[in-house]
Amino acid sequence: MNYIMNKILTDLRMLRNTNPSVMKPLNLFSFLFLGIAFAACLDQGDDTYYISSSNGDDSYDGQSQERPFQSLARLQEVELKSGDKVLLASGETFTDPLILNGVHGGAEEPIKIATYGDEGPAKIHTKGHMNAILIENSSFVEVANLEVSAQVGAEANDPEVSAMRCGVLVKASQEGLYDHIYLNDLVVKDVFYEAQGFVRPQGEVNTANGTQNYGWGIRVINITDSATINDMVIAGCTIQNVAHTGIKLTSRQKNQTYGITNLKVYDNEVLAVGGPGIQMSGVQHGHIYGNKVDRSGSPDDPRKWGRGSGLWTWGSDRVLIERNRFTNANGPKDSAGAHIDFNCSNVVMQYNFSANNAGGFCEILGNNYNCSYRYNISVNDGHRVKGVNGGKQEGKTFWLSAFTGKNRTRKGPYHSYFYNNSVYLKESIEPKIAIDRVANGVLIANNIFHLEGKTKVVKGDQWNPQTPGEWMVDDVIFQNNMFLKESSWPDYYNLKDQSPTYGDVGFSNPEGMSLEDFIPTNTELVKDKGIEIPQLGTDSIGLVYGLQMEEDILGNRIEGLPDLGAIEIQGSLD
């Protein structure tokens, strides 16, 4: 019944948008029908179904712990309703997949899938199935406290077939509005398409996203222009040891409409995945926070892709990425802590800790509008050297690229704001920067660049590398940054600070890996030395989350003028 109500609402929205004049005579009938449907929903019960692989039987009714179902497949014969619960026996292992197709709970009473008992999470460990958990064309469903893995069956799958294996797959394949899919406290691990011993060709890692079959951790896919996945939450999950991306969301971005809206991804750990840690395409209104991503692009299994940033966005709008930790990203290309790929707008990276990522720290690609890195700490990012150990791109401290796709016109990025970041690079890492000559609107202010090596300028290293020509970068505010020494930024470069300062801010413990290790001890160099961040002259928007900040990366309140870098010095200098 909830599906019927959702379907009616979706149809009414579409009709209103295409022919508003038709709506008036339909309003009374539509709302009368909705009232009848709603009354019918009130009569639905709240049933609980138990499943136990050890003492269940599919001939049971499944509605008590004494008479549980045995298989997850039996669940497909049950018509789940609003408020229903499906509980899997704690500590037990299920080898068939959990499939929810066309299942709809209610806004006040979602359908919940979880574990019962005190022996730890129930385990769904499939072999030979394409997904351990599949949620398709469904809404108001919550899945929590399960352990999931998905691997090849007794025989290896045909590597010529284009396919993917997922720990959890959420999919929209029919038109409609699919609300409220929550994935909480899941462990997703060991997801591979191929059997152990498979070795990928050497050149596969250099392809854009991989051309072969892989295992993925949590995937959310909307393949239909007339569908929307809304209010999607992935929280408190651990994703580790999968062949490609840990958490990946994919949808359209067409005519300023997006197929995934109101997304939250928070408090997850993504560890040793073969591709990026977290990646999203076609998302609008996202909040990504409190996640820890370590060793994205891991090459520790030859079935893994071996390349990937901790996080990256593509074709997305209004995504706030804050208070995450991105460390040890690996790969011959990209593989930054977090980067903003092309065709995005209003993506803001703030309060993040980024360290030891091969590809670098700041990476904003072409046709991006009003994106920002602010109040982040970067430690020894960009250590990759082109031509060394398979490196195909230089690692970069700061990169503005106009790349918009292979053989496409380079443009932007537009109105990029980079301020109050603390950047530390030890002497053994050569700092490198790349700014495309057609970038437009650049603000670089209030940063600490503690770069012990001599900085150099490099090209963008993409399909259409930056070609020689007229320097066209316009609308620039580059001022009030603290550099360790004059060689920390090339004095011959077209883009340079108009009012730099120099000195060692004396980070508390630059060999450390905590935020507090990068509190400046030479406080007189940074205290109240910042400027209020202005809006670029050609920019009518600024940042959708506001340009002025109220607190620093540690949560300290900013009083008066901001200090330099990501940490506000507490107390008076007197």
In tens digits, the chain (574 residues) has pLDDT values of: 444 444 454 454 444 444 444 444 444 444 434 444 443 443 455 899 999 999 999 999 999 999 999 999 999 999 999 999 999 999 999 999 999 999 999 999 999 999 999 999 999 999 999 999 999 999 999 999 999 999 998 555 555 556 899 999 999 999 999 999 999 999 999 999 999 999 999 999 999 999 999 999 999 999 999 999 999 999 999 999 999 999 999 998 777 789 999 999 999 999 999 999 999 999 999 999 999 999 999 999 999 999 999 999 999 999 999 999 999 999 999 999 999 999 999 999 999 999 999 999 999 999 999 999 999 999 999 999 999 999 999 999 999 999 999 889 999 999 999 999 999 999 999 999 999 999 999 999 999 999 999 999 998 888 788 878 888 999 999 999 999 999 999 988 989 999 999 999 999 999 999 999 999 999 999 999 999 999 999 999 999 999 999 999 999 999 999 999 999 999 876 6
Cβ–Cβ under 8 Å, residues 45 and 83: yes
Residue 67 confidence (pLDDT): 98
- Among 354, 346, 351, residue whose Cα is nearest residue 277: 354
Residues in Cβ contact with 6 at an 8 Å cutoff, skipping those fewer than 6 apart? 104, 139, 176, 177, 179
Residue 45 confidence (pLDDT): 53
My answer on whether omega of the bond before 413 falls inside 30° of 0, hence cis, is yes
Q: What tokens appear for 41 in the block?
A: 């929903």
- Characterize 347-364 residue by residue with b for buried, 16 or more Cβ atoms within 10 angstroms of its Cβ, and e for exposed: bbbbbbbbbbbbbbbbbb
Q: DSSP assignment of 163-217, as one string?
A: -EEEEEEEEE-SSEEEEEEEEES-EEEEE-SSPTT----GGGGGSSS-SS-EEEE
Q: What tokens appear for 540 in the block?
A: 């009518």
Residue 236 confidence (pLDDT): 98
Hey, is 60 helix, strand or coil? coil
Residues in Cβ contact with 554 at an 8 Å cutoff, skipping those fewer than 6 apart? 515, 516, 567, 568
Query: Positive or negative CA dihedral for 561, 473, 386, 302?
Result: positive
Q: pTM value?
A: 0.92
Q: Which helix (H) or strand (E) holds 325?
A: strand 325-327
- Characterize 232-258 residue by residue with b for buried, 16 or more Cβ atoms within 10 angstroms of its Cβ, and e for exposed: bbbbbbbbbbbbbbbbbbbbbbeeeeb
CA distances from 360 to 309, 378, 388, 393 (A): 9, 9, 16, 10
Q: CA–CA separation, 572 vs 388, rounded Å?
A: 48
Q: CA–CA separation, 400 vs 10, rounded Å?
A: 41
Q: CA–CA separation, 413 vs 342, rounded Å?
A: 8
